[in-house]
Structure 1
Amino acid sequence: MHRRIIAPGVLAAATLLLAIPASAASFTPGAPGIGDPYYPASGNGGYDVSHYDLRLKYQPGTDLLEGTATLVATATQDLSRFNLDLGLAVSEVRVNGKKAKFAKEGEQELVVTPVTPLQKGKAVSVVVKYAGKPSEVKIGGYTAWARTPDGGVAAQEPDSAAWWFPSNDHPLDKATYDVSVSVPDGHQAISNGVLQSQSSKLGWTRFAWRSNKPQASYLATLAVGKFDITTDRTESGLPVLNAYSKDLGDNDGAARASVERSAEVVEWLEGVYGPYPFNAIGGYVPNVTSGFALETQTRPFYSPKQFANGANVSVVVHELAHQWYGDSVSVHHWKDIWVNEGFARYSQWLWSEKEGEGTAQELADYTYASYAADNPFWQVKPGDPGADKQFDIAVYDRGALAIQALRNEVGDDAFFQILRGWPKQYAYGNAKVSDFVKYAEKVSKKPLAELFDTWLYEPAKPAAPAAAGSKIARSYTAGAEAAPVRPKSWKKIAETNTIHDH
């Protein structure tokens, strides 16, 4: 037998050749956007993030944020370079432990070129060190960071992450989060999920939060300030944490009377949509000047203005319904916003029905009658409203009319089966409007394309209202439009501000 001896250097070279793909041309840059037609610059291509570890230090007096973000990801193509979304200044980037070249392009693109190209399917770790004042960052002409008298808040839609951490900033790339924030003693840092620890040293207190289920980047939130915090546990053991700025003034009592009912609302929503999908419940009300609320995962954000006219549990219902419709099941692209907002609005109608303040049918009748045929309301297509109309009132109200139309068409048994089954079918993932239509047809065993086309896509007031067979429907058949009595709940539902401050 002849034994062939291979020199060690030749063997090492052969091993290296086996480790590198045959063609260097297979390594290409990741796309600078994830492909959303409404927001071409949002998100990035070429990789998928599974976890963010954010270690931050924030100085409320100067608005200076310093951070080290570690991203655990997987390359989804052979990558020569890739982008992250971040508006703050970067001092260092490491990829798989090695310093990488980086450059800022435009308002939010951080272009990273690793020393060694990244192979498709391989694990990747990215460490970014950065600093800056989030309130000075402008992307698309607006800021998602709100300064408060004693700190700052990150809460906006359709994006807010780029103001305080580097990310693949689009709902299609969800991840789990560890957020650890050091703030001066006497201040607190509020984020998503469960508070893991709190420790003080040399005048600084560090708060460590964990969100252990997939979370879209815009649903990650951070609030630093002086808060009054209440805690509890539900009967099933879920931790409840609510926080209120200590300087809310006249709105303080109404805010507490609303947000403190969060656990009760979740318990009721579980009966509608199935088991609560996350590891914590709560909400927070910082002293901001904006007027909207947002479904930040496990801990919705509420502007004090939501409670300027007294308690409003309806807005709490809206944001907590999003935990199923919007957070657990998120949009595929932002044109699918109806699957978020139509159902959150309809949840308010169901709450009204439960509270005896107007049935969903009565609210549908009143909503339909409130907008004349020539009102621009009917020109907005909730199923694809356009970026400029994404948060138009029609997405909410006409969107809810579409859901009532579905209920009337399929009957309550199939309808509530659909409402519960959808969040289970697409749990922790993303889905399109078309996916919902197909799912509703599958469960109801009825053709529904025409119904949804009428209510979600036709730029005109339908010939007959969603509330088929109701008093207003009969009046239309008779040729005279009736003016239904305004349900008692209407005022509080209308106070749910649907305008996001871009």
Structure 2
Amino acid sequence: MKRLLALAAAALLTVSASAGSPGDPGAGDPYFPGQGNGGYDAGHYDLALDYNPGSNALNGVATISARTTQELTRFNLDLVDTLKVRSVTVDGAAASFSQQGTELVVTPAAALAAGAGFTTVVSYGGRPTHVLDPDGSRDGWIRTSDGVFNANEPQGAMTWYPGNHHMTDKATYRFAVTVPSTRVAVANGDLTSRNTGGDRTTYVWDAREPMASYLTTVSIGKFILTDTKVGNFRTIVAVDPKLAKDATTLAQRHGPVLDYFSSLFGPYPFSSTGAIVDHEPNVGYALETQTRPIYPVVPSESLLAHELAHQWFGDSVTPSRWQEIWLNEGFATYAEWLWQDKIGQRTLQASADGAYARPETDEFWQTPTADPGGPAALFHDPVYDRGALTLHALRGMVGDTAFFTILRTWATDHKYGNADTAAFIELSERVAGRDLSGFFDAWLFKPGKPAL
């Protein structure tokens, strides 16, 4: 439906037929057809945001550096129309625009040449709110008693800034966020400055490694913010004062997990790490926001390990389509099992046996892991535990040396990029030196309980 609305909006605009064509209003994802856009690749977002938690008023200026992939007469950005656009410029010249649903349609004063770099500046504002996902959960700009819990998987980024919001269009980011001085604004990457003028403070964060927009966050609250070196890792942690008593060792807990995963998967891929712990009891989930996962509670050892494993699998290496989310969740779940085994909390075999013990008639075994059936099923158990079991069974099939070579090569070859299930199968077969099509067919694509 979003795609149809976008096409209807685009039809209202007339362009010269003399050169170029409009960019597609969707990236072609089977689960979210209206998500993302065609005709260009975003390279960098510079977001200047001013937020008042009391009134929920957000004013923003988004400066987007991009490059065309075709001769382009018109292009779309994903932005909910509850945020009203005031003006748009393309390369400094005023551009015409329209909004409908989740699409902002921009027509530059002149067509953009194929392969050309260009800069779009969007000024906008309003009172943002979350979106409701197909599984009934909230994501995006989720208000709290003192600010915002901002978690965007799979579609929340469009609730607070315009962009090309499909996971395949990664970009670097700079966030300059101005809030009342009684609040702290936390985002991805490194905190580079904090400047107070009067009763307001601007926090500037730089995320220098490419990031999918669903992994971005600007979370705001009365946080206790610490920035420390834990082992080899710059660790920036923001904690809601309500939870501070239980989080005194949270920063230090990152080091051992990251050291262990680095030994298995290769070097940690980002310039900093850390966490945002924001008391929001009605959210019910954590999210692997890049460099700084966000939690509604102080994370347990298993949850911390899960979200930190995502920094390799999901954040640095991101799937090409939503249906392949097992490449995120199955890998992070298996890493969580590995960490529990490492610290003596639960053996790896006990975790695998517990997941495998489900009856053959259980829906768990009837859902193909590599395509769980639609957006409402993205975060169900087959994606997580059956995905992890796939990796455990693969390890048993090819042996430890080949298995961990596969994981390290996967994390290295696709660092900061996107990859799909077919690429993982090809890599596994190449490293193992054998045909594994029957194995992966049973574990990833067919319903039923595979034999171990």
TM-score (norm 2): 0.92
Pick from 84, 87, 92 the counterpart of residue 97 of structure 1.
92
Pick from 162, 168, 174 the counterpart of residue 166 of structure 1.
162
Residue 176 and residue 397 in structure 1: after superposition, are their counterparts in 2 closer, same or farther (change >3 A)?
Answer: same
Pick from 264, 269, 294 the counterpart of residue 272 of structure 1.
264
Aligned twin of 2:315: 327
- Residue 126 of structure 1 aligns with an amino acid whose one-letter code is T
Q: State whether structure 2 residue 238 is matched by structure 1 residue 246.
A: no
Pick from 394, 401, 409 the counterpart of residue 421 of structure 1.
409
Pick from 117, 120, 126 the counterpart of residue 114 of structure 2.
120
Aligned twin of 1:314: 302
* Alpha carbons 2:90, 2:120 under 8 Å: kept: yes
In 2: Cα distance, 1:320 partner to 1:210 partner: 20
* Alpha carbons 2:130, 2:159 under 8 Å: kept: no
- Residue 451 of structure 1 aligns with an amino acid whose one-letter code is F
Deviations 1:380-425 (A, max 9, x none): 1111112221111111011111000000000001111111111101
Deviations 1:220-253 (A, max 9, x none): 10111101122211443x42111111123xxx44
In 1: Cα distance, 2:269 partner to 2:414 partner: 11
Pick from 345, 360, 382 the counterpart of residue 348 of structure 2.
360
In 1: Cα distance, 2:251 partner to 2:387 partner: 25
In 1: Cα distance, 2:84 partner to 2:73 partner: 23
- Residue 427 of structure 1 aligns with an amino acid whose one-letter code is K
Shift of 1:26: 4.2
Aligned twin of 1:345: 333
Aligned twin of 2:187: 191
- Residue 131 of structure 1 aligns with an amino acid whose one-letter code is G
In 2: Cα distance, 1:81 partner to 1:53 partner: 22
Aligned twin of 2:75: 82
* Alpha carbons 1:52, 1:70 under 8 Å: kept: yes
Residue 105 and residue 360 in structure 1: after superposition, are their counterparts in 2 closer, same or farther (change >3 A)?
Answer: same
Q: Kindly, what percent of the aligned residue pairs are identical?
A: 46
TM-score (norm 1): 0.83
406-415 or 449-458, which moves further after superposition? 449-458
Aligned twin of 2:426: 438
SS of the residue aligned with 1:294? Answer: coil
Root-mean-square deviation (Å): 1.7
In 1: Cα distance, 2:337 partner to 2:197 partner: 49
SS of the residue aligned with 1:56? Answer: strand
In 2: Cα distance, 1:37 partner to 1:421 partner: 28
Deviations 1:275-322 (A, max 9, x none): 011111101111212111111000001112xx5xxx611101100101
Gaps of 5+ in 1: 1-22, 466-502
Aligned twin of 2:360: 373
* Alpha carbons 1:243, 1:285 under 8 Å: kept: yes
Aligned twin of 2:150: 154
Aligned twin of 2:3: none
SS of the residue aligned with 2:73? Answer: coil
Aligned twin of 1:39: 32
Pick from 441, 449, 452 the counterpart of residue 461 of structure 1.
449
* Alpha carbons 2:171, 2:211 under 8 Å: kept: yes
In 1: Cα distance, 2:116 partner to 2:62 partner: 20
Shift of 1:324: 0.5
Deviations 1:308-364 (A, max 9, x none): xxx611101100101110011101011111110000000011112211233322321
Aligned twin of 1:483: none
Shift of 1:260: 4.2
* Alpha carbons 1:410, 1:446 under 8 Å: kept: no
SS of the residue aligned with 1:48? Answer: strand
Aligned twin of 1:18: none
Higher strand share: 2
Residue 138 and residue 414 in structure 1: after superposition, are their counterparts in 2 closer, same or farther (change >3 A)?
Answer: closer
In 1: Cα distance, 2:249 partner to 2:305 partner: 13
In 2: Cα distance, 1:366 partner to 1:203 partner: 54
Corresponding pairs, count:
431
Residue 138 and residue 63 in structure 1: after superposition, are their counterparts in 2 closer, same or farther (change >3 A)?
Answer: farther
Gaps of 5+ in 2: 1-15
Q: How do 1:400-415 and structure 2 match up within 5 A?
A: 400-415=388-403
* Alpha carbons 1:52, 1:177 under 8 Å: kept: yes
In 1: Cα distance, 2:55 partner to 2:24 partner: 35
* Alpha carbons 1:58, 1:183 under 8 Å: kept: yes
In 1: Cα distance, 2:224 partner to 2:262 partner: 28
SS of the residue aligned with 1:293? Answer: coil
In 2: Cα distance, 1:235 partner to 1:398 partner: 34
Shift of 1:433: 0.8
SS of the residue aligned with 1:81? Answer: strand
In 2: Cα distance, 1:268 partner to 1:136 partner: 36
Aligned twin of 2:223: 227
Deviation >6 Å, runs of 4+: 136-141
* Alpha carbons 1:181, 1:208 under 8 Å: kept: yes
- Residue 436 of structure 1 aligns with an amino acid whose one-letter code is F
